[in-house]
C-alpha cells in the first residue's frame, strides 16, 4: 500500500513539476489514528519550488490524484499535510492477506536467496557463557531470523578462539586443580581462572571421562603431566557445556570455526606473507607492524610481537578472508563493545590483501554491557563461574522466552538492565507475559467459537467503525514495514517494540468488544481481525525465537 500510494503521489506531482524524484516523496504512519493511516509532507517540500502555499499545493495534488477504492477519505491538515484514511475495502484486503499468508505474513523475497553469514556469540572456550554472550546470542539469532524471513540464505557461525594465551591459562588452571593447588594458593597461576567450574573440569579429567565435542569424543588421559591432553580436554569440556547452554537458549549454528585450524591450515601465515609482499608491513623494536594508518587507523599496529606470537587481530584477518573466499558478500559480526578497536584493524588488514574486498566489509553490531538486578540489588557473580553471571543462571531463573526478549529489547549500542523480578512476574508489567497473553487470549476466543478458522476470510467490505478496530488494522498492516526496517538497520529491538504496541492494541480491543455476537457478518469480521492479529504476534515472536503459547 505504501509503494502504491507513493506511485499515485509521484504521478500527481509530475503534473505540477518535473523537478522531483520519487525518493523525495516520504510516506509516514501517523501515531494517532485520527490523523489517518498514511501521511505525507510533499506539499511542504514543493512549496519553495512552486512558490505557492503548501495547502494550495496539497489541493492541487488532491485534484490530480485518481479516485481510489483504497481510501475513503483524503484530507488536507495543518500546514499542508495530506492524510489518507483507508477504506473498508482496504481493511478487508489487509485482514484477508494476513490470514491467507499466516506464518509468511511480513516476510519477503527481498534477499533473493543471496548468501549472508552472521557470526555471533563466538565465546572463548575458557568458561561458561556469560550474560553478555547471551545478549549476543539473542541479538545475533534474531538478526539471522529477520534475514531468513526476508529471503536471504543465512549461515550462522560460531568462531572459537581456541589458541593463544587464554587457552594456556585455562590449561594451567585445570592442571593446578589436578595437583590440588587451589586458587588462593601462591602457586596457582596468576592469570588463571578461578571459578568453581575449573575444579569440575579437573575432577572429570582425572576420572578419564569422555566428552562429546562437535562430532568427536574426547577422552581424558588422566595424566597430570600431559599438558596437551589437559588443554584438549578442557576446551572440549567447555565447548560441550556452551553447546548445551545454547541449545537451552534455542540457538543453533550451521558452522563452528576454530582459530587453531587457521594456524594448522597456514591461513594465518598466508595473510602475514601477503601483507608483507604487498608492502604494508615494517619491522621495529623486534616486532612486525601493519601500516594500518594507510587505511584510516589512528596508529600502526603490531602484528607479530618480539616473542614471535601473533597479536589477536591477525587470525581475525585470516578468518575474515576465509569468509570472503567462501562467497559471503554480506557478513555481519555481532560482538561485544570491547571489539570496537578490532574493526579498523581487521578491515585494514583485509584491504591490504588486495582482494577487492569492500572497505566497510564486514558489518558490525556491537552490544553494550548488561546489569542484572534482583530484589533491587545488582547481581555480579555466579556460584559456578565466580566472577560473572552466566547465561544459564538467567535461563534457570526466568526461562528461555523471557531471557531472549529482555536481552533483545533494547538497541544493541545501549546499556541494558535485566530485572529478574520483572522477567519472572506474571502480570501486564512484564512485556513478555503481556505479549504472549494477547496471543493466548485470541486462542481462547477462537476455541470458544469452535468454528473453522479457514472460513474467517471477510467476503465483503465490512465497516470497522470503532477507533480500536481501525487502530488494530493499521497496526497489523505496519508489520511488513517494521520487518524491513528492523532487517535493514540490524535492529531486532524494533520487533519487541512493535509487539508491545500490537499487544496493547489487542488488549484494548478485547476489553471493549464482544466477539461472539448474534450478527454472523459482524462476528466473522471481528474474529477475522483478532485472528489476523494473533498471526502477526506469532510471527513477531518467532523472529525473536520466542514461543507463542495458546494457553496461559
CATH of the domain at 498: 1.10.730.10
The answer to whether the CB of 121 falls within 8 A of the CB of 158 is yes
The CA distance from 202 to 233, in Å, is 10
Please check whether residue 346 is in contact with residue 339, taking contact to mean a CB–CB distance below 8 angstroms. Answer: no
Model pLDDT for residues 186-209, shown as the tens digit of each residue: 999 999 999 999 999 999 999 999
Query: In this structure, are 433 and 420 located in the same domain?
Result: no
Query: How confident is the model over 460-477, as pLDDT tens digits?
Result: 899 999 999 999 999 999
Quick one: 103 and 244 in the same domain? no
Same domain, 385 and 457: no
**What's the grid cell of residue 540?**
513477531
The rounded distance, in Å, linking the Cα atoms of 423 and 372 is: 11
Q: Is the pLDDT of residue 268 over 80?
A: yes
In a domain, 269, yes or no: no
Query: Do 244 and 375 reside in the same domain of the chain?
Result: yes
224 confidence band (pLDDT: 50, 70, 90): very high
Q: What are phi and psi of 547, to 5 degrees?
A: -75, 155
> What does pLDDT average to over the chain?
95
- Same-domain check for residues 447 and 483: yes
- Which pLDDT value is given to residue 365? 98
Considering only CA atoms, which of 486, 498, 490, 487 is closest in space to residue 536?
498
Instruction: Determine the distance from the C-alpha atom of residue 333 to the mean position of all C-alpha atoms in its chain, rounded to a whole number.
Output: 11
Give the DSSP H or E segment for 156. strand 153-160
Query: Please, which pLDDT band fits residue 68 given cuts at 50, 70 and 90?
Result: confident
- pLDDT of 151 reads 97
- What pLDDT is recorded for position 214? 74
Q: Beta-carbon neighbour count of residue 306 at 10 Å?
A: 11
Q: Is residue 300 domain-resident?
A: no
pLDDT surpasses 90 at 387 = no
Alpha-carbon distance of 394 to 364, in angstroms, equals 26
pLDDT band per the 50, 70, 90 thresholds, residue 175: very high
Residue 549 lies in a domain: no
Q: What percentage of residues in the chain have a pLDDT greater than 70? A: 100
Q: Which residue has the cell 575432577?
A: 203
Residue 383 clears pLDDT 90, i.e. is over it: no
CATH (domain of 81): 3.30.1360.70
Inside any domain, residue 350? no
Q: Which helix (H) or strand (E) holds 364?
A: strand 363-367
- Could you tell me the pLDDT band of residue 341, with boundaries at 50, 70 and 90? confident
| Boundary of a domain, candidates 359, 391, 424 | 424
pLDDT tier at 411, thresholds 50, 70, 90: very high
Cross-strand partners of 365: 334
3-state class (DSSP) for residue 393: helix
Surface-to-core class of residue 125, CB atoms within 10 Å of its CB (0-12 exposed, 13-18 middle, 19+ buried): buried
C-beta atoms surrounding 201 within 10 Å: 27
Q: What is the pLDDT of residue 215?
A: 74
Over 80: is that where the pLDDT of 41 sits? Answer: yes
Nearest-10 crossing angle of helices 227-248, 391-398: 30
pLDDT in tens, 485-528: 999 999 999 999 999 999 999 999 999 999 999 999 999 999 99
Q: Is the pLDDT of residue 96 over 80?
A: yes
With pLDDT > 90 as the criterion, what percentage of the chain qualifies? 93
User: Do residues 140 and 230 share a domain?
Assistant: yes
Confidence (pLDDT) at 81: 97
Q: Grid coordinates standing for 337?
A: 563493545
Q: 375 and 245 share a domain?
A: yes
Query: Which stretch of 329-333, 391-395, 456-460 has the lowest confidence by average pLDDT?
Result: 456-460
Q: Are 115 and 155 in contact (CB under 8 A)?
A: yes
- Widest pairwise Cα distance in the chain: 88
Tell me what pLDDT residue 475 has.
97
Mean pLDDT of 22-38: 94
Query: CB-side exposure of 132: number of CA atoms within 13 Å?
Result: 18
Radius of gyration for the chain, computed over Cα atoms and rounded to the nearest angstrom:
29
Q: What band does 138 get if pLDDT is binned at 50, 70 and 90?
A: very high
Cα separation, 313 vs 163, whole angstroms: 13
Q: pLDDT tens, 285-339?
A: 999 999 999 999 999 999 999 999 999 999 999 999 999 999 999 999 999 999 9
Same domain, residue pair 38 and 80 = yes
Residue 439's pLDDT is what? Answer: 98
pLDDT at 183 over 90: yes
41 and 125 within one domain:
no
Percentages of the chain per state (helix, strand, coil), in multiples of 5: 50, 15, 35
In a domain, 319, yes or no: no
Same domain membership, residue 174 and residue 64 = no
Residue 532: domain span: 91-108+428-543
Collapsed DSSP state (helix, strand, coil) of residue 157: strand
In a domain, 60, yes or no: yes
Average pLDDT over residues 395-424: 97
Determine the pLDDT at residue 374.
96
Closest to 463 (Cα-Cα) out of 526, 527, 508, 536: 526
427: DSSP letter? S
**Does 284 fall in a domain?**
no
Strand partners, 283: 288
SS3 assignment for 72-131: EEEEEECCCEEEEEECHHHHHHHHHHHHHHHHHCCCCCCCCCCEEEEECCCCCCCCCCEH
**Residue 101 located in a structural domain:** yes
Per-residue pLDDT at 69: 80
Which of 424, 457, 488 is the endpoint of a domain?
424
Which of these, 418, 407, 446, lies nearest to 546 by C-alpha position?
A: 407
Residues 6+ apart with CB under 8 A from 471: 33, 505, 508, 509
- Residue 524: predicted pLDDT: 96
180: alpha, beta or left? (left if phi > 0; alpha if psi -120 to 50): left
The pLDDT, as a whole number, for residue 212 is 87
Residues 38 and 56 in one domain: yes
| Domain count across the chain | 3
Taking the alpha carbons at both ends of the chain, their separation in whole angstroms is 36
Helix (H, G, I), strand (E, B), or coil: what is residue 161?
coil
**Domain shared by 236 and 124, yes or no:** yes
Amino acid at each position: 500500500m505504501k509503494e502504491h500510494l507513493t506511485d499515485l503521489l509521484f504521478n500527481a506531482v509530475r503534473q505540477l513539476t518535473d523537478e522531483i524524484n520519487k525518493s523525495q516523496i516520504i510516506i509516514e504512519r501517523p501515531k494517532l489514528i485520527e490523523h489517518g493511516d498514511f501521511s505525507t509532507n510533499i506539499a511542504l517540500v514543493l512549496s519553495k519550488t512552486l512558490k505557492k502555499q503548501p495547502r494550495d499545493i496539497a489541493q492541487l495534488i488532491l485534484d490530480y490524484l485518481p479516485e481510489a477504492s483504497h481510501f475513503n477519505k483524503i484530507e488536507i491538515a495543518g500546514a499542508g499535510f495530506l492524510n489518507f484514511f483507508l477504506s473498508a475495502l482496504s481493511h478487508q484486503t489487509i485482514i484477508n492477506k494476513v490470514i491467507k499468508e499466516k506464518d509468511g505474513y511480513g516476510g519477503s523475497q527481498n534477499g533473493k536467496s543471496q548468501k549472508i553469514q552472521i557470526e555471533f556469540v563466538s565465546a572463548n572456550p575458557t568458561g561458561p557463557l556469560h550474560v553478555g554472550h547471551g545478549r549476543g546470542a539473542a541479538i545475533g539469532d534474531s538478526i539471522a531470523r529477520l534475514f531468513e524471513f526476508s529471503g536471504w540464505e543465512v549461515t550462522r557461525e560460531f568462531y572459537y578462539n581456541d589458541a593463544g594465551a587464554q587457552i594456556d591459562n585455562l590449561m594451567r588452571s585445570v592442571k593446578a586443580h589436578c595437583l590440588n593447588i587451589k586458587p588462593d594458593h601462591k602457586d596457582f597461576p596468576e592469570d588463571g581462572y578461578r571459578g568453581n567450574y575449573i575444579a569440575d573440569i579437573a575432577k572429570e579429567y582425572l576420572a578419564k571421562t569422555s566428552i562429546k565435542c562437535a562430532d568427536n569424543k574426547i577422552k581424558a588421559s588422566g595424566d597430570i603431566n600431559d599438558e596437551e591432553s589437559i588443554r584438549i580436554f578442557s576446551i572440549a569440556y567447555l565447548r560441550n557445556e556452551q553447546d548445551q547452554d545454547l541449545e537451552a537458549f534455542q540457538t543453533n549454528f550451521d558452522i563452528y570455526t576454530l582459530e587453531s585450524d587457521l594456524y594448522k591450515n597456514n591461513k594465518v601465515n598466508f595473510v602475514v606473507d601477503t601483507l608483507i609482499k604487498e608492502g604494508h608491513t615494517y619491522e621495529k623494536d623486534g616486532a612486525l607492524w601493519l601500516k594500518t594508518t594507510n587505511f584510516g587507523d589512528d596508529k600502526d599496529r603490531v602484528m607479530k610481537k618480539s616473542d614471535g606470537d601473533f597479536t589477536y587481530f591477525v587470525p581475525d584477518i585470516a578468518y575474515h578472508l576465509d569468509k570472503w573466499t567462501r562467497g559471503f558478500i554480506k557478513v555481519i559480526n555481532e560482538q561485544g563493545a570491547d571489539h570496537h578497536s578490532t574493526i579498523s584493524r581487521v578491515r585494514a588488514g583485509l584491504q591490504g590483501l588486495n582482494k577487492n574486498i569492500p572497505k566497510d566489509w564486514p558489518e558490525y553490531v556491537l552490544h553494550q554491557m548488561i546489569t542484572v538486578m534482583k530484589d533491587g540489588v545488582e547481581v555480579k557473580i555466579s556460584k559456578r563461574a565466580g566472577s560473572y553471571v552466566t547465561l544459564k543462571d538467567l535461563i534457570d531463573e526466568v526461562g528461555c522466552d523471557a531471557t531472549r526478549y529482555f536481552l533483545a529489547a533494547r538497541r544493541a549500542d545501549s546499556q541494558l538492565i535485566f530485572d529478574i523480578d520483572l522477567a519472572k512476574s506474571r502480570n501486564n508489567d512484564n512485556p513478555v507475559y503481556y505479549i504472549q497473553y494477547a496471543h493466548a487470549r485470541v486462542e481462547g476466543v477462537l476455541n470458544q467459537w469452535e468454528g473453522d478458522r479457514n472460513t474467517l476470510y471477510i467476503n465483503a467490505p465490512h465497516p470497522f467503525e470503532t477507533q480500536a478496530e481501525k487502530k488494530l488494522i493499521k497496526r497489523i498492516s505496519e508489520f511488513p514495514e517494521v520487518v524491513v526496517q528492523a532487517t535493514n538497520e540490524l535492529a531486532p529491538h524494533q520487533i519487541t517494540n512493535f509487539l508491545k504496541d500490537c499487544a496493547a492494541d489487542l488488549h484494548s480491543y478485547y476489553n471493549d468488544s464482544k466477539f461472539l455476537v448474534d450478527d454472523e457478518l459482524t462476528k466473522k469480521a471481528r474474529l477475522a481481525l483478532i485472528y489476523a492479529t494473533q498471526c502477526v504476534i506469532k510471527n513477531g515472536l518467532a523472529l525473536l525465537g520466542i514461543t507463542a503459547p495458546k494457553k496461559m
